[in-house]
């Protein structure tokens, strides 16, 4: 069956749902039922919120209306997954035997040859890359990532799939070779090629080098094709395998609602079994990627639940929550809303955009987003904008919400739109000229220091230039407001990671300094002296 002809029912593996013994509960059609504290639901069966175990150590839990971000701890495990983990923790097993049994069972459920439970999708990608490099040969395994003397030493990644997660591939020691066309792909493949890696998504589907085109080159050459589908729904039969992939990686702690510390590799049995050889509890590089019996059985339970869950009821319930939020916030004059249904397979969920005029309400979506993050309860959502430059707003993803969260979110949005928090201070005319070359001393969150350099040009309040770090230079931009300076730079994903720097501080003559925000790499401080 062509991939384009797959129905959504087929892709979600609904065939097993009719015979499943699990009843996930009726769809909550009424507002009173949907809002009832602790009410079970199709998307979130079971009891209400658990006791706050985090508050006692000073950590603030949150309502997740943003999505399955790892930094927000992914998703909430299904009750059946928690039960499986608890039961698994009460007995001993031999892990090689467990991996074999779980791999065969998940392979049956997903209609693939075999499966490996890994310590997250990224670890699974590393094991898959090792399997393609060393083929399960222990004599080679113990030398990874030193590939001296190895026959296979390169991984090909099309330009459209260069991303921060490819570090899982190069971690094996493979040299990354970038290609952009089918001709370049054909020329790059040789005896040294271990695999071709792509990240699933629109950039691949709409590219000259889509999955089928790549497979038409890799299959005859005997080169495995690895697809990173971490954030996608689990399609059964697997859409990527049908398009020619040999191996497909998934996150366990996103849409499948398994353990956050687990992932899946599905596909060719010989390669998946080799990936197991190149994983813990076996030694060498992979010993640190340990999967316990608890995660293995929890991931199996999540896959078993995936083929039994009523996905249509989940989508309907998520949409119902968004409609309730939309109805509430639309009562605020000048607010418009739009519910968008998902396209594609990644993080497949409806979403709600809430827009308003920044001038009329004197507040931006970013300010509202930050206020909700700092509020009580803490709420995570995204800021957004509209087609009109004056439009601002927020977006809500119900994927990871609990049944009563919609009411809390709606109440807080209405309150903030009626009584907005203070707007950030408007920029002032620049009272300093920061043009020139600056020697920058950075102190990172861990306390280590680093010497960098900023070359800045100033045009009125606007700054442009370069930021040179330990290894690379990247463009920089920013502004000056009074004696306050902001400089931003970002190093893209071309080498398998992304670094963003936001320097904020004050200027005094030939010296300046202040705070550094590095996003996922936390905060630090900086001082600079003009040469």
- pLDDT tens for 483-499 read 999 999 988 756 667 88
| Separation between Cα atoms, residue 291 and residue 448, nearest integer Å | 32
Q: What is the pLDDT of residue 390?
A: 87
Indicate the domain borders of the chain: 1-71+310-423, 74-306, 436-530
Give the pLDDT confidence of 372-391 residue by residue, as tens digits: 999 999 999 999 998 888 89
pTM recorded for the entire structure: 0.86
- Of all residues in the chain, what percent are helix, strand and coil, respectively (each to 5)? 35, 25, 40
Q: What is the pLDDT of residue 491?
A: 82
CATH 3.40.50.300 holds for 436-530? no
Q: Are 48 and 38 in contact (CB under 8 A)?
A: yes
CATH fold of 1-71+310-423? 3.90.1150
The CATH number given to 74-306 is 3.40.640.10
| Separation between Cα atoms, residue 248 and residue 505, nearest integer Å | 46
Q: Are 229 and 84 in contact (CB under 8 A)?
A: no
Burial class (CB in 10 A: 0-12, 13-18, 19+), 104: middle
Rounded average pLDDT per 10-residue block, the chain, 531 residues: 35 34 32 37 52 91 95 95 98 97 98 98 98 97 96 97 94 96 98 97 91 98 97 95 97 95 98 97 94 98 97 95 98 95 79 93 93 96 90 95 96 95 89 97 94 97 96 94 96 72 97 96 96 90
Q: Are 228 and 266 in contact (CB under 8 A)?
A: no
Give the pLDDT confidence of 228-262 residue by residue, as tens digits: 999 999 999 999 999 999 999 999 999 999 999 99
| Separation between Cα atoms, residue 153 and residue 388, nearest integer Å | 50
Give the pLDDT confidence of 336-371 residue by residue, as tens digits: 999 998 877 766 889 999 999 988 888 999 999 999
| Residue whose structure tokens are 């698994």 | 88
| Separation between Cα atoms, residue 248 and residue 107, nearest integer Å | 12
What are the b/e assignments for 172-192, b being 16+ CB within 10 Å?
A: bbbebbebeeeebbeebbeee
Give the pLDDT confidence of 310-328 residue by residue, as tens digits: 999 999 999 999 999 999 9
Q: Are 249 and 226 in contact (CB under 8 A)?
A: yes
Residues whose CB falls within 8 Å of the CB of residue 270, separated by 6 or more in sequence, listed in order: none
Q: Nearest to residue 124, comparing CAs of 283, 302, 257, 252?
A: 252
Long-range contacts (CB closer than 8 Å, 24 or more residues apart) made by 23-26 = 24/309, 24/310, 24/313
Task: Dihedral sign for Cα 113, 252, 491, 167, please.
Answer: negative
Q: Nearest to residue 307, comparing CAs of 368, 247, 237, 366?
A: 237
Long-range contacts (CB closer than 8 Å, 24 or more residues apart) made by 390-393 = 390/357, 390/358, 390/359, 391/355, 391/356, 391/357, 391/358, 392/355, 392/356, 392/357, 392/358, 392/363, 392/364, 392/365, 392/366, 393/353, 393/354, 393/355, 393/356, 393/365
| Residue whose structure tokens are 């049908």 | 242
């Amino acid at each position: 069956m062509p991939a384009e002809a797959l129905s959504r029912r087929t892709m979600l593996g609904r065939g097993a749902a009719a015979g499943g013994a699990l009843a996930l509960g009726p769809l909550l059609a009424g507002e009173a039922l949907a809002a009832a504290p602790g009410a079970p639901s199709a998307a979130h069966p079971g009891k209400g919120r658990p006791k706050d175990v985090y508050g006692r150590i000073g950590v603030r839990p949150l309502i997740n209306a943003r999505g399955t971000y790892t930094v927000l701890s992914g998703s909430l495990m299904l009750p059946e997954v928690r039960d499986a983990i608890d039961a698994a923790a009460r007995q001993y097993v031999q892990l090689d035997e467990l991996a074999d049994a779980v791999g065969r069972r998940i392979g049956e459920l997903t209609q693939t040859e075999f499966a490996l439970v890994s310590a997250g999708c990224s670890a699974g990608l590393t094991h898959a890359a090792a399997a393609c490099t060393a083929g399960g040969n222990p004599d080679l395994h113990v030398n990874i990532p030193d590939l001296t003397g190895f026959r296979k030493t390169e991984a090909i990644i099309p330009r459209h799939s260069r991303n921060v997660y490819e570090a899982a591939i190069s971690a094996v020691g493979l040299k990354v070779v970038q290609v952009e066309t089918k001709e370049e792909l054909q020329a790059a493949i040789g005896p040294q090629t271990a695999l071709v890696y792509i990240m699933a998504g629109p950039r691949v589907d709409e590219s000259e080098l889509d999955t089928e085109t790549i497979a038409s080159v890799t299959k005859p050459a005997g080169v495995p094709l690895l697809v990173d589908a971490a954030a996608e729904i689990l399609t059964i039969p697997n859409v990527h395998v049908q398009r020619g992939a040999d191996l497909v990686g998934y996150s366990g702690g996103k849409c499948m609602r398994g353990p956050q510390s687990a992932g899946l590799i599905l596909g060719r049995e010989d390669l998946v079994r080799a990936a197991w050889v190149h994983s813990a509890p076996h030694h060498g590089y992979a010993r640190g990627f340990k999967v316990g019996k608890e995660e293995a059985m929890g991931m199996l339970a999540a896959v078993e639940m995936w083929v039994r869950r009523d996905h249509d009821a989940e989508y309907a319930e998520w949409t119902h929550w968004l409609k309730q939020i939309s109805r509430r916030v639309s009562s605020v004059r000048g607010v418009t809303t739009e519910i968008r249904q998902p396209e594609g397979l990644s993080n497949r969920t409806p979403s709600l955009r809430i827009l308003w005029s920044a001038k009329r309400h004197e507040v931006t979506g970013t300010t509202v987003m930050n206020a909700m993050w700092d509020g009580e309860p803490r709420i995570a959502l995204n800021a957004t904008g509209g087609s009109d430059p004056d439009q601002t707003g927020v977006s809500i993803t119900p994927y990871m919400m609990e049944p009563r969260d919609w009411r809390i979110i709606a109440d807080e949005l209405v309150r903030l739109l009626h009584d907005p928090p203070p707007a950030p201070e408007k920029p002032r005319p620049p009272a300093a000229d920061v043009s020139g070359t600056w020697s920058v001393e950075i102190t990172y969150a861990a306390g280590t220091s680093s010497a960098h350099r900023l070359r800045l040009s100033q045009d009125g309040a606007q700054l442009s230039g370069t930021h040179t770090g330990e290894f690379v230079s990247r463009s920089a931009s920013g502004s000056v407001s009074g004696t306050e300076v902001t400089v931003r730079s970002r190093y893209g994903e071309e080498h398998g990671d992304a670094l963003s720097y936001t320097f904020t501080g004050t200027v005094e003559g030939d010296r300046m300094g202040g705070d550094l925000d590095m996003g996922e790499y936390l905060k630090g401080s900086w001082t600079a002296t003009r040469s």
